[in-house]
Amino acid sequence: MEEITKVEIDNYKNSLAEVEAVLNCLEYNAYKRIPNNIIQAIHNNKNGDYIFNYNEELDYDKWNLSMEAKAILYNIFKKYIADEEEKQYFMEKERYEIMQIEKQKSLKYNSNDIFNKSDRISFNKVQNIEKTELLKIEKDKWYIKIINKIKTLFRRY
């Protein structure tokens, strides 16, 4: 399991401070759709010393938000604030993005192209490769050696 570093924890707490700043700029009706326990958890876990500077005159996308804050805000908006039409849009957008990622994976790891002609080794090259294998020498067990020694003694007489 991957260990979380102090820097990652600090970045997450700073992101929560950014999220709280954005949520405080929401309209009252949108803000009230978010459950109190979520707002309280954000407030309790944020970095109290971190001050997020923003300009309310600018659009949200112009604010210098961290990727973590954007992800948290996206999930809050999608789950609590968005209406049904917007939720449907987000679901379709996510489905489309997953399909694009899978398409890229299939192109990158296409099983038909794994053994294309440029990667093949010619038959002549394969013949020139020397095979070096270690021979496995089997030794008789100690009790077999004793039995064989006894048998040779009886053969003599």
Query: pLDDT (tens digit, 9 = 90+) per residue, 67-89?
Result: 999 999 999 999 999 999 988 99
Query: Which has the higher per-residue pLDDT, 87 or 110?
Result: 87
Q: What percent of the chain has pLDDT over 90?
A: 34
What distance in Å separates the CA atoms of residue 110 and residue 117, rounded to the nearest whole number? 14
Query: Looking at this protein, which amino acid is placed at residue 152?
Result: T
The predicted structure's pLDDT at residue 98: 92
Structure tokens at 148: 């064989």
pLDDT, residue 25, reads 87
User: pLDDT digit string (tens) for 112-149?
Assistant: 665 555 555 555 555 555 566 666 667 777 777 778 77
Distance CA 155, CA 157 (A): 6
> Which class for 61: exposed (0-12), middle (13-18), buried (19 or more C-beta within 10 A)?
exposed
The mean of the pLDDT values for the chain is: 81
